[in-house]
Structure 1
Amino acid sequence: MWAKLRTTLARRRLRPEWLGLLDTPTDEYVSLDCETTSLNVREAEILSIGAVRLTPGHIHASESLYLLVKPERLPEPGSVVVHGLRPSDLSDGLPPAEAVSRLLEFIGGRTLVGYYLEYDVAVLNKYVRPLIGTGLPQPQIDVSGLYYDWKLKQTPNGYVDLRLQSILDELHLPSLGRHDALTDAITAAVIWQAMASRGHPG
């Protein structure tokens, strides 16, 4: 019911040229991740965006998107340890509005998948709303939530460790190594596939 209401509201607010974002294909998804300047949504600026197309049982790595974004304030050198992006890497990045527009064209109406997706969506929506008239209208699946529900059924009232590496270890999935937005999007996709194979596709 909530999903239908959200779609109705989005249809009223969406600018006409973006109505295609509500055309959700069957069994098509996009896994998404962003690197940002802060974990505080109000302060955070996007530094990079990674996305990859999914269908059940397949991660279409050849159909992916990786964008560097030039923020208003370049990150402090000390923050490079977290996201690995130096000011020199971002100096030729895309303006945020252009990067988000490219992302929207890539996603279309496909369902979004991600690890702690709520945060990425909240940051993206700061840029998306002025562009299309509303926040991201696509259905959304948070793999940490899928994993939590699955694990809790196994151990009711037990502690569920939602750290990314802990989830990968529990599901016997490989760590893809390099930490960037596209790699993290693919990692979330791998977790989603693993949860789908266990009967929890979202």
Structure 2
Amino acid sequence: MNLLAWLRPHAPELGANLRQRMAALPAPAPLGVCSLREQRWVVLDLETSGLNLNRDQVLSIGAVAIEDGAINLGQPFERTLHRPEQKTNASVLIHGLGPSALAAGCDPAEALLDLMAFIGDSPVLAFHAPFDQRMLSRALKDSLGLRLQHDFIDVAELAPLLNPDTVLREAGLDDWIARFGLQVQARHHAVADAQVTAELALILFSQARRQQLDSPLQLAQRLKQWRRRKAQGHGL
């Protein structure tokens, strides 16, 4: 074996059924100029073994779809992944996923492929999206050898962009939930967090339309400009 082959990441061995399902996945659609209401969105939340992007693992996945300007409550996506090797740590106190739940979980490759089929060609929304994007990207590569190419929009950035006069001490998800008086069934439960993030996103989309931002592409472009101004303000 030459050095390049040794350094190249080992591709996971997949059965024929998984390979066929992967081949059938649609390519992600670019952000377009359709209205925010017309766009189908998938709101994602991951529970992980910790916050280390290089070491920690995805333990459970929750997602809901926003279709025709409303949350599709009848078809949420939820999977706990089979992680029997995961040791109990402080994160269990937050998300409650102990050894028995992880031992009974779904095969990671199957669960992740189910998620990508649920996402389809839609853009993804998440609160602190870069973290979810990086964790999901690594999980897909490790379990399926699949490259994540979907557009992600960060609700944690969208909220202050559209509410410049709102000053929050932490500006976390709980703070924005309280700011808009939303009700949440259970925090740090993937589906519940995805659902309340979707409710927050719908409020923000309504604000965006009032500010003449009514397409996914416009939102992404405005966020890019906002991010650049913020970096310049911090001298970066």
RMSD: 2.5
1:61 to 46, 51, 73: 73
Query: More strand per residue: 1 or 2?
Result: 1
CA contact 1:151–1:160 (8 Å) conserved in 2: no
C-alpha distance in 2, partners of 1:122/1:32?
13
Q: What's the CA shift string for 1:97-122, capped at 9, x where partnerless?
A: 22111110111111101111111110
Query: Aligned to 1:182, what secondary structure does the other structure show?
Result: helix
C-alpha distance in 2, partners of 1:198/1:102?
33
Q: 1:53 to 1:129 in 2, by over 3 A?
A: same
Of structures 1 and 2, the larger Rg is shown by 2
Query: Aligned to 2:174, what secondary structure does the other structure show?
Result: helix
C-alpha distance in 1, partners of 2:129/2:115?
15
Write out aligned runs for 1:1-202 (5 A).
17=23, 20-23=26-29, 27-71=39-83, 73-76=85-88, 78-129=90-141, 131=144, 133-134=146-147, 136-152=148-164, 154=165, 161-199=170-208, 202=219
Query: Aligned to 2:117, what secondary structure does the other structure show?
Result: helix
Q: 1:53 to 1:37 in 2, by over 3 A?
A: same
Query: Aligned to 1:186, what secondary structure does the other structure show?
Result: helix
Per the TM alignment, residue 197 of structure 1 is displaced from its structure 2 partner at its CA by 1.1
Query: Aligned to 2:73, what secondary structure does the other structure show?
Result: strand
CA contact 2:84–2:99 (8 Å) conserved in 1: no
Per the TM alignment, residue 78 of structure 1 is displaced from its structure 2 partner at its CA by 4.3
C-alpha distance in 2, partners of 1:63/1:165?
25
Moved more, 168-177 or 60-69: 168-177
Query: Aligned to 1:162, what secondary structure does the other structure show?
Result: coil
Per the TM alignment, residue 43 of structure 1 is displaced from its structure 2 partner at its CA by 1.2
Q: What's the CA shift string for 1:116-161, capped at 9, x where partnerless?
A: 1111110111122353542x21221111110121232x26xx6663
C-alpha distance in 1, partners of 2:84/2:134?
18
Per the TM alignment, residue 56 of structure 1 is displaced from its structure 2 partner at its CA by 4.6
Q: What's the CA shift string for 1:62-97, capped at 9, x where partnerless?
A: 121100102262231543211111110111212222
Q: TM-score, normalised by structure 1?
A: 0.81
Gaps of 5+ in 1: 1-15
Moved more, 77-86 or 178-187: 77-86
Q: TM-score, normalised by structure 2?
A: 0.70
Task: Tell me the amino acid that sits aligned with residue 33 of structure 1.
Answer: D
Query: Aligned to 1:144, what secondary structure does the other structure show?
Result: helix
C-alpha distance in 2, partners of 1:72/1:119?
23
Per the TM alignment, residue 22 of structure 1 is displaced from its structure 2 partner at its CA by 2.0
Moved more, 165-174 or 188-197: 165-174
Query: Aligned to 1:149, what secondary structure does the other structure show?
Result: helix
C-alpha distance in 1, partners of 2:160/2:150?
22
C-alpha distance in 2, partners of 1:194/1:159?
17
C-alpha distance in 2, partners of 1:87/1:54?
33
Identity of aligned residues (%): 28
